[in-house]
A and B are shown apart, each in its own frame.
Chain A
Amino acid sequence: MDEAGGRERLVSALMRRLINIKPGQGAAFMLGALPLIAIFLLYVQAAAERSAANAADKLLPTLDKMGESLSRVAFHPDVLTGKVLILSDTIASLQRLGVGIGIATVVALVLGLALGVVPLVRATLAPIIATIAVIPPIAVLPILFIVFGLGETSKIVLIAVGIAPLMIRDLAAHVAALPNEQILKAQTLGASTWQLTLRVALPQALPRLIDSLRLSLGPAWVFLISAEAIASDVGLGYRIFLVRRYLSMDIILPYVAWIALLALLMDVILRGISREVFPWYHGKGK
């Protein structure tokens, strides 16, 4: 009976156009997991084959090997410093990332609002921000190193300078695109420019800022790891580039997976905050 129902559904699915066949929640989850599982299995298979052919293979380390190296290098307190490497790397990287992103977000919020709301500010600052935005941030990294030294500052500045222009422009465009009716209406309700910014533009800018922050996380990681690769003595990017000299895929791969996990987590948290705090933005009228 169940089988007949399944067949019926299958037949009805096949008769519709492809664009109209939508997976349910469970099916979507399964479909999404499929490529991940496939890649994982492929890797395990390939690693096993290579290690059978050559036990000293470095390119595709088996899971056992990775676990072993990780516990030796990353999880075990270092004899010299007494610190757990992966922990201190993670803390250092997240700190740089957090401060850099934080600065970029605050700057984007203030400038984005000012540009979006006040035509005079837009006329004055939009061209220079557009100019800065087209400069590849990595190209100014040497300048940052010269100006701010090789310490934390230049890495943080790189992240902030790298992602801020886009966030500013996105937010300014979003605020400027608020229906003119809203702006006129606020004035008929007696709003000053400041009150209008605070009560009309700001609350509608915030969820958009979170969106653009989520999109900027990827580039932010790129800038972080680039800066760490070039000049650092701790950090996830630093570690990866350090062990590269010894072809230590058994360290690099778990580090990359760990970075991916951290990035994913940040994205999920930001999305959750947005849905919780701005229900109206996600089409939930309560």
Chain B
Amino acid sequence: MSEILTFKDIWVEYGEKIVLERVSLSISEGSFVSIVGPSGAGKSTFLRLALGQEAPTRGQVLLDGKALLPQCDPDRGVVFQRYSVYPHLTALQNVLLGLEFAKSPFLGRLYGKARRDAIQTATDMLTAVGLQHNLNIYPSALSGGMQQRLAIAQALVKHPRVLLLDEPFGALDPEIRLEMHDLILRLWAQHGLTILMVTHDLQEAFKLATRVIKVDKRRHDPHAPHRYGSGIISDVTPDKTKPVPLDVTTLLLPSSDEV
């Protein structure tokens, strides 16, 4: 499998505070990578780098071998924990939006046959996430799980090279979460997606991902905790033939050669 996303010796600093240090990672096409770690470790920072929302202080992020501009572009789709869909657009309009941006630079709207085709594409995408009966409903009338389904459909209609998810199911009930797991695994397989997902939930990470990465501080100075940033302290490939063990924390202990 070829490399799609590469982090090369990344450092992220905010003034005095070092958040990430010496992070190198390459992600191969078609993989489902999950990033775990304690709160404040820099998981979202990782994702923001891939998204282009931020540039690293040092180092490079490469997509298909090319350095990323520090801005978001349609080759990377994203679903946040919240606020990913537009409240002023119906479900169908939310998904249409990406298609309209691509084909209508000035008005940002499509008409006639182009619009009918786009509606067909968007409806198919909404059907794939199970929202075919809620096309003309505003997000405020959708449940949290349905809003996340919509956000996924909205991102996937652009066929991004990489799909970035920041705790996408963090705000959902356990049962809805399980439904969403099935959905995202199905879409990942069907569309041949490459996914980078941040989560707090280790079980979730081991269940979904083909590769689990733990981000945490390698060194700790009790007098000046901000002096050391986080790095990748373990990089695990879950055995997909076996069920997820009940206690997965031991799987994530730092490997000896890393320290």
Contacts and interface: CB of A to CB of B under 8 A. Distances in A.
Contacts of B107: 198
A285 B76 CA distance: 30
Contacts of B51: 184, 188
Contacts of B108: 191, 194-195, 198-199
A182 B89 CA distance: 12
B155 A188 contact: yes
B141 A190 contact: no
A56 interface: no
B144 to A, nearest CB: 14
B255 interface: no
Contacts of B87: 204, 280
A285 B140 contact: yes
Nearest to A281: B88
Contacts of B140: 280, 283, 285
A276 interface: no
Contacts of A218: none
B256 to A, nearest CB: 39
B80 interface: yes
B160 A188 contact: yes
Interface in A249-286: 278-281, 283-286
A185 interface: yes
A190 B78 CA distance: 12
Contacts of A279: 138
B88 A189 contact: no
Nearest to A203: B88
A184 to B, nearest CB: 5
Interface residues of A, number: 27
B141 A192 contact: no
A81 to B, nearest CB: 50
A190 B137 contact: no
A136 interface: no
A286 B137 contact: yes
B158 interface: yes
B141 A184 contact: no
B138 A181 contact: no
B136 A286 contact: yes
Interface stretch (B93-101, B116-124, B204-212, B229-237): B93-101
Interface string A167-200: 0000000000001011011111111101100111
A184 B53 contact: yes
Interface of B, helix, strand, loop or mixed by DSSP: loop
A191 B138 contact: no
Interface in A215-229: none
Contacts of A190: 73-74, 98, 101-102, 158
Contacts of B102: 190
A198 B139 CA distance: 20
A184 B72 contact: yes
B71 to A, nearest CB: 7
Given A181-B82, A281-B88, A285-B141, A199 B77 contact: no
B101 A191 contact: yes
A285 B139 contact: yes
B88 A187 contact: no
B217 to A, nearest CB: 27
Interface string B82-114: 111011111000000110111001111100000
B154 interface: yes
Given A184-B72, A185-B84, A285 B137 contact: yes
B142 interface: yes
A200 B100 CA distance: 12
A195 B74 CA distance: 14
Interface in A2-50: none
A204 B141 CA distance: 17
A199 B138 contact: no
B43 to A, nearest CB: 16
B98 A189 contact: yes
B88 A280 contact: yes
A189 B138 contact: no
A262 to B, nearest CB: 31
B38 to A, nearest CB: 23
Interface of B: 51, 53, 71-74, 76-78, 80, 82-84, 86-90, 97-98, 100-102, 105-109, 136-142, 154-155, 158, 160
Interface of A: 179, 181-182, 184-192, 194-195, 198-200, 203-204, 278-281, 283-286
Given A181-B82, A188-B160, A195-B105, 15 more contacts: A181-B80, A184-B53, A185-B155, A187-B72, A188-B73, A188-B76, A188-B77, A189-B74, A189-B154, A190-B98, A191-B108, A194-B106, A204-B87, A278-B88, A286-B90
Query: Closest 7 CB pairs between A and B?
Result: A285-B141, A187-B72, A189-B98, A181-B83, A179-B83, A190-B74, A285-B138
